[in-house]
Amino acid sequence: MTDDLHGRVEPDRAAPLHTAPRGTDYRPRHVAIIMDGNGRWALRRGLPRTVGHRAGVEALRGVVKAAPDLGIKILTCYAFSTENWKRPKDEVDTLMSLLLEYCRLEAENLHRNGVRINAIGRIHELPPAQQQEIARAVALTRGNDRLILNLAVNYGGQAELVDAFRSLAAEVQSGRLAPEAIDAEVVRRHLYTADLPDPDLIIRTAGEMRLSNFLLWQSAYAEIWVTDVYWPDFTREHLEQALRDYARRERRFGAL
């Protein structure tokens, strides 16, 4: 993948906060969301699953609008996984169409509002039209810094690690990297998210208690917040609830 398709960015670095004392108004800088439950939301209403995915796009708009006001600088959203290709063709086609629509229709609005669009995943495996629209949105918004919207598209945590290890192996084979020089920091620099800090908080909707192959390396010390609310019903109020819960937690990163 090219850097243009990665849309890698170098956000402003802040001094690390190793502990968030209970009762403070500390806000996570990087929030990642597993947007789950679109299909179940629709089926409970007697509607096709595809209607739920369209409603999920509306929920995403609301969260993106709210995030900067709540102090969030990076928002990573799990839009389409490497496993989602196994779903019925009409559902996959709908998801691809929604991705195309979102990039085409939202890019200008996001640009006006200072949002920078990123894309991580095996973008080169997407249909050409989707690749082109993602690249256009990334290029258009490249200079913005109010919020980084990091879309995980055709993304899988295991695939990301495979790609990183392949890149490392190529460097070792060429003699540019000694095997003994490989440590956690070197691996991190070969991930899709190399230029982004790890997420502070991962939110999962629809009540499932798993990461589902999302940011496996980066989530090592992320706080996790799960809600039974389906993604199409997720609002700013739910996001604020997650942030309040996060602010009460103490993050020690293995220390006392």
Catalytic residues: 36, 84
Q: Of 197, 201, 125, which is closest to residue 163 (Cα–Cα)?
A: 125
For residues 71 and 31, the answer to whether their CB atoms sit within 8 Å is: no
Phi/psi for 226 (5° steps) reads: -115, 135
Distance CA 38, CA 230 (A): 7
For residues 78 and 33, the answer to whether their CB atoms sit within 8 Å is: yes
DSSP state, residue 223: E
Calculate the alpha carbon distances from 211 to 7, 9, 64, 101 in Å: 24, 24, 21, 27
